[in-house]
Amino acid sequence: MRSVVEKLALTVAEAAALGGPCRSILYQDIASGRLRAVKRGRSTRILLEDFKRYLASLPSIPARVVMVSQVKED
């Protein structure tokens, strides 16, 4: 039986593909210090725990209040 090992670090492209912001925004947030990343040679990696914390820190979208009179019926 094979054991499943969870990745500990992601490339910027992998983080973007997981549903995070696009690569350019991730690089901007790394440069500004908002998202922690590590370097190994030329490779930039984002630790999974740092990425989860970063996503949780993004602002949420407030719920819109819809009046019943604004709802259109077909």
**Radius of gyration in angstroms for the set of CA atoms belonging to the chain, rounded to a whole number:** 18
Residue 48 has pLDDT above 70, yes or no: yes
Residue 34 has pLDDT above 60, yes or no: yes
Kindly report the pTM of this predicted structure. 0.73
Residue 15 has pLDDT above 90, yes or no: yes
Are 48 and 41 spatial neighbours (Cβ–Cβ below 8 Å)? no
Please tell me whether residue 17 adopts helix, strand or coil conformation: helix
Residues 6 or more apart whose Cβ sits within 8 Å of residue 23: 12, 13, 16
Q: Which residue has the tokens 């690089």?
A: 27
pLDDT band at 9 (very low <50, low <70, confident <90, very high): very high
